[in-house]
Amino acid sequence: MHDQRRRREPGETLFGFVLLLMSLAVMAEGHRLRGFEEVSAPGITPLAAGVVMAISALVIILRTRTLVPTEAGFATRIAPRDIALSVLMIAIYMALLEPIGFHIATFAFLSALILYLRRGGPASPLRGLGFALLLALVSVVAVHVVFRMVFTVVLPQGWMLRSILPPGWLL
Amino acid sequence: MGFFLLSWLDPSLLMLTAAGTLAGIYIGAIPGLSVTMAASILISFTFAWEVNAALALIAGVFTGGVYGGSRSAILLNIPGAPAAIASALDGYPLARRGEAGVAIGLSTVMSVLGGFIGVIALAVAAPVISEFALLFAPRDYLLLAVMGLLLVGTLSGESLAKGLFAGALGIALGMVGLDPMTAEGRFTLGTVQLMAGIPYVAAMIGFFGVSEALVQLHNLRVKPVKQDVSRIIPPWRLIRKYLPLSLRSSLIGVVIGALPGTGGDIAALMAYDQAKRTVKNPSRPFGEGAYEGLIAPESANNAAVGGAYVPMLTLGIPGDAVTAVILGALFIHGLKPGPMLMIETPHLFWFTVGNLALANIFLLVFGLTGIRAFAKLVECPPSVLIPLILVLSVVGTYSIQNSVVDVYFMLGFGIFGYLLKMYGFQVGPVILGMILGPMIDVSWRRAVISVGDDLGFLVEEAVASPLTMVLMAFMAFLLLSQVKWRALGRRLRS
């Protein structure tokens, strides 16, 4: 993903402008904290960082505009279905972590994502499902043993489960 | 001496170093996993541990990971780590000739040799530099932090503007929270959650773990290349023959690794370049499977590990992206890397030296065994690997403060990091900025407050101080060298 490519990625110019806006926001915070007034003000470093960001963003935008654009669209190059769906699954997984707990949420997330990413492989759909479920189960057990039991990390237990199951049942 | 041998004698530390080294070899070797990613995830699990245990594990992963990157470079022509880019140039041609076993064996022995030279350099140089650094004033610390930021030059890939943006963005992110000098809120948007600052580990895992996993989703259909690996222990005559080259390359690795703004990748590339220029009759032409072309970068990149610890422990500035993350780990454990580390916690320094030496011994053991199982694991498909990385990233981030908000931060940084990578940015400078930003901020403000906000007087004081002038000259040297290193890196990588 280096800059050796000769073509402009879809959405790259817009991204440059987003970065420029971020730079201006950083500069504004520096200004609010008296960055322009005193050399030892709390805003001096944010202001300096904002200026460097803004100049760099301008250079990046100008250079990007000289590149020949790729023919493929944003949905093909930057956010293809695999990426978009994976991000969506991660977001759902995170949202479910506290309600249903780490173990069930992780099992469901791993099964679903492995099954999705391995689609179209040489294995039959049933074998693929079996593999995904088994791997997800083994992974959840392994994470529980290593992180809960060895590293004593407190994993989310799930407030929904807590209201259903008796206390001794929770991992 | 007792602290040097601590991890050798304490069974739990011994086990952790062994486990870290073994895990590091696999992490470094599996395409899609990086040492930086692993170190950032590990910090989240180990932050509540006793500091020696955490450092033992992380040092093992670092040592093993730098070496492990050469495994996939030799077997698959995919450098598992930036430090292994040069190893692929002759390592893969060797594997294609059916000499994968000898190539791995040689790279193991020479990596260990390089690793030991790095450890010796760390033990000898660090106390001297540290004593010298005690004389530093706030303006000198500012210069040191700016020197550390020069790493942006080598971490920024092909576009310096993008590297500068990422570094400055990191500095801005490092400013989030209450100002340590006036307690004024910076970038807090009036929320309580942001007053303590951006969760550092969440940012690291997001930028290095999640974003890399998302980028790897583009390579789902890439089929792994299978390699037949048989004999691995290299013949003694080969080791003896290439010992002088290995020692020479190790010294290059130590010096380059110790310079702020460089790292194992530059060290390996320079050692490769040096070998190519000086070896008159290589076993084969360079690029076609010359043993010399594998030995030089492998010795140098592992020697650079010890070298990179020198500025990190003595001056508090990272030598490369991984030491930037380790530096973060030291801060999380309440330590202050820099000259005071040697005075306040000398035991920690000698423990680190001993631990790195031990990790190199384990590297030799694990590097020369279990190669068949290893070859299988390297072929692990991304469709299995990526979901597991994502789960580890989530568990790691959550476990820091038992907070789902941190996990959302991590996902946000992950998606943003993914976009940065897709548009040709490197995420290393962001983390570097986050680490060095607060040091730059505080050092600058202390320096100008000490002269009553009079910049003219600050310049006068700086010019009158021989130490500051030496540091400025060194910084100018590093700055000029950056141009040379970037050009060299581009030329050799191409």
Buried b (16+ CB within 10 A) or exposed e, B61-88: bbbbbbbbbbbbbbbbebbbbbbbbbbb
Residue-level pLDDT at B321: 74
SS3 B279: coil
Return the residue matching tokens 């943006």: B165
C-alpha to C-alpha distance for B213 and B206, rounded to whole angstroms: 10
B70: confidence class by pLDDT, cuts 50, 70, 90? confident
Torsion of CA B362, B366, B369, B372, to 10 degrees: 180
B419: confidence class by pLDDT, cuts 50, 70, 90? very high
Judge whether B12 is closer than 8 Å to chain A, CB to CB: no
Separation in Å, CA of B232 to nearest CA in chain A = 31
Contact predicate A66/A126, CB 8 Å:
no
Contact predicate B97/B291, CB 8 Å:
no
β-pair partners for B178: B185
**Is B475 exposed, middle or buried, given 0-12, 13-18 or 19+ CB atoms closer than 10 A?**
middle
| Positive/negative CA dihedral, A92, A94, A98, A102 | positive
C-alpha to C-alpha distance for A63 and A68, rounded to whole angstroms: 11
C-alpha to C-alpha distance for B267 and B251, rounded to whole angstroms: 10
Per-residue confidence in pLDDT tens, chain A, 171 aa? 444 456 889 999 999 999 999 999 999 999 999 988 889 999 999 999 999 999 999 999 999 999 988 888 888 888 899 999 999 999 999 999 989 999 999 999 999 999 999 887 776 778 888 999 999 999 999 888 877 776 677 788 888 877 777 666 555
pLDDT tens, position by position, B166-217: 999 999 999 999 998 898 999 998 888 888 888 877 888 888 888 888 998 8
C-alpha to C-alpha distance for A124 and A119, rounded to whole angstroms: 10
CA diameter of chain B: 70
Q: Helix A12-32 to helix A44-66 angle, to the nearest 10 degrees?
A: 160
C-alpha to C-alpha distance for B43 and B204, rounded to whole angstroms: 10
Residue type, B117: I
| Positive/negative CA dihedral, B330, B335, B338, B342 | negative
Contact predicate B68/B26, CB 8 Å:
yes
Buried b (16+ CB within 10 A) or exposed e, B226-247: ebebeebebeeebbeebeebbe
* Angle subtended at Cα B258 by Cα B252 and Cα B259, rounded to the nearest 5 degrees: 95
C-beta atoms surrounding B364 within 10 Å: 18
CB-nearest to B449 from A12, A33, A40 is A40
Task: Quote the percentage of chain B above a pLDDT of 90.
Answer: 23
pLDDT over 80 (residue B241): yes
C-alpha to C-alpha distance for B362 and B20, rounded to whole angstroms: 10
Residue-level pLDDT at B216: 85
Judge whether B486 is closer than 8 Å to chain A, CB to CB: no
C-alpha to C-alpha distance for B24 and B40, rounded to whole angstroms: 13
pLDDT over 50 (residue B285): yes
pLDDT tens, position by position, B337-376: 887 787 888 888 899 999 999 999 999 999 888 777 776 7
pLDDT tens, position by position, B294-306: 999 999 989 998 9
Counts for chain B of helices (H) and strands (E), in that order: 23, 2
Judge whether B215 is closer than 8 Å to chain A, CB to CB: yes
A contacts of B383 (beta carbons < 8 Å): 114, 117-118, 121
Average pLDDT for chain B: 84
Best probe of the B interface among A19, A31, A40, A85, by most B CBs < 10 A, is: A40
| Average pLDDT of span B400-418 | 90
C-alpha to C-alpha distance for A105 and A88, rounded to whole angstroms: 14
> Does A86 contact B214 at a Cβ distance shorter than 8 Å?
yes
Q: Which residue has the higher pLDDT, B47 or B158?
A: B47
Judge whether A118 is closer than 8 Å to chain B, CB to CB: yes
pLDDT tens, position by position, B442-454: 889 988 998 888 8
